[in-house]
Amino acid sequence: MRKKKTVVPHEISATMSSLATGGACVGTITQPEELAGKKAFIHGTAPGESVTAEVTFSKKSFVNARLLSVLQPSPDRITPRCPVASECGGCDLQHIHLAAQRSLKVFMVEDLLRIHGGVTARDGVSLLGADLPGFDYRRRMSFHLNREGAFGLYRKLARSIVEIDSCPIATATINHFLRENIALVKACAPEIETVTVEDHDGAVHLALEVHPRNESAMSTLSTKPEFKELCARFQNLQVNYRHKPIFRVIERAEGAPPVGHFSQNNRAANDLMLEYIISHVPTEAVTDLYAGAGNISIPLALAGKTVTAVELDPHLVEFGTHRAAQSGVSERLRFFSMACEKWIEQHAPETSIVLDPPRSGALEVCQRLDSSKSPWVLYVSCYPPTFARDVQVLVDRGYELIVVKVLDMFPQTYHSELIGILRPKSPTV
């Protein structure tokens, strides 16, 4: 006998309660009656609001839904500065007051640690940098081109492009680049599919990513007058083929940073993070895993620490070594180009440990850290779910989570930077 298909009601009413990973808020369905009590994830809402929404996806324990109307708005709801904030996938929270955004992020991290990690921080979870600016902060932006030359950012939960000619979270340098060069960039379609613009101390560094399914892209691109004009305007320009996990550089000015590779996006927040880290490292020797180009390693060395920096990406290692020499800390800072998982497997460092992994986290490294040898771990994370997972592993291996700081590195989005400090558990008497 064929199982009767369950019909999911098209429209729901819900009361929203908290911010969820992914940028939506989560609430409880109140109507229709057959779905009452079920969770609903709805973008564009705020905790405390009563809303109506259209169901777009349904599972046994929750639904995803598209906001239709706000019946009772939150007192924290504001008008977004950006006219396409509700469409563009770049920002999740422009409709919520900045101070409220930051409180929601702290609560979200507390819940993730407690529910998914099964741990609490001894000295709690708190905000670092309450007065950081909410706009004009982003120093690196990746824009997209389609074959017809539409230029902008991806739409929320889609791969179509929302066309823009400026972005309120980008620095003035990046927005000036857009105003002056957007016509030249659009003319590089369909050979180019991604344009990464980075602001390094007010100078634009540019990376154009060749469409990987267009075999003649490079030869065609090189004949375009608009591409030649971009090359003439920007000395620090490179063209990349997309070969994961790293880019193969076709052209890059000598001494320029490897554009499109990892770097911290928010200068003011990054400076505050480094100040916090330097003031809390208790030992003279430090091992910095997932070190990038030395964002944390070089300031630690400048503060007098002896640092071992481990990073897989050879372009970042090369640039970090160059920066260390420029900073005069080469004697106190040594880079190793290898996977951190392999490094920690081959070594048992008796130093303080700094972890700053990508979104995927540092599970294999955490599974090998020894609390009897490494007396202090500082974990910097841009993704709370993997942070919670890895902290649980460290707790199981004899560490105690002392404190977590939530740094709003990415205002107007659900993302934040977490700084967690762990130490070996005190022996019980």
**Range 99-133+265-424: architecture per CATH:** 3-Layer(aba) Sandwich (3.40)
Residue type at 158 in one-letter notation: A
What residue ranges of the chain are covered by domains with CATH 2.40.50.140?
A: 11-72
CA distance 381 to 199: 23
What residue type is assigned to position 51 of the chain? V
pLDDT of residue 247: 38
Q: What is the CA radius of gyration of the chain?
A: 23
φ, ψ of residue 272 to 5 degrees: the values are -65, -40
Q: Which residues contact 227 (CB under 8 A, 6 or more apart)?
A: 184, 187, 188, 221
Task: List Cα–Cα distances, 422 to 269, 355, 397, 399, in angstroms.
Answer: 22, 11, 11, 6
In order of 70, 233, 362, 364, 401, the CA distances from 425 in angstroms are: 48, 57, 21, 21, 9
Using pLDDT thresholds of 50, 70 and 90, give the confidence band for residue 249.
very low
How far is it, in rounded angstroms, from Cα 328 to Cα 285? Answer: 18
Query: What residues does CATH 2.40.50.1070 cover in the chain?
Result: 140-249
pLDDT per residue over 145-198, tens digit each? 999 999 999 999 888 999 999 999 999 999 999 999 999 999 999 999 999 999
- Averaged pLDDT score across all residues of the chain: 91
Look up residue 422 and give its two tokens. 């762990």
Mean pLDDT of 346-373: 95
Q: In the CATH scheme, what is the code of domain 11-72?
A: 2.40.50.140
pLDDT band for 244, please (50, 70, 90 cuts).
very low
User: What SS3 state is found at 148?
Assistant: coil
pLDDT score for 215: 72
Residue given tokens 């890895």 in the structure block: 390
pLDDT (0 to 100) of residue 7? 52
pLDDT > 80? residue 4: no
Q: Give the strand pairing for 333-337 and 306-311.
A: parallel
Question: What are 338-355's pLDDT values in tens digits?
Answer: 999 999 999 989 999 999
Distance CA 237, CA 206 (A): 5
pLDDT at 245: 29
- Span of 73-82, 158-167, 175-184, 201-210 with lowest mean pLDDT: 201-210
pLDDT at 185: 96
Mean pLDDT of 410-417: 96
What pLDDT is stored for residue 236 in this prediction? Answer: 83
- Which carries the bigger pLDDT value, residue 77 or residue 159? 77
Q: Has 88 been annotated as catalytic?
A: no
Say yes or no to pLDDT of 248 above 50: no
pLDDT in the model for residue 394: 97
Which residue in 204, 356, 351, 344 sits closest to 295, CA to CA? 356
CATH topology for 140-249 is OB fold (Dihydrolipoamide Acetyltransferase, E2P) (2.40.50)
pTM of this structure: 0.90
Q: Give CA–CA dist 88/410, Å, rounded.
A: 15
Percentage of residues of the chain with pLDDT beyond 90: 82
**Reported confidence tier of residue 259, pLDDT bands at 50, 70, 90:** low
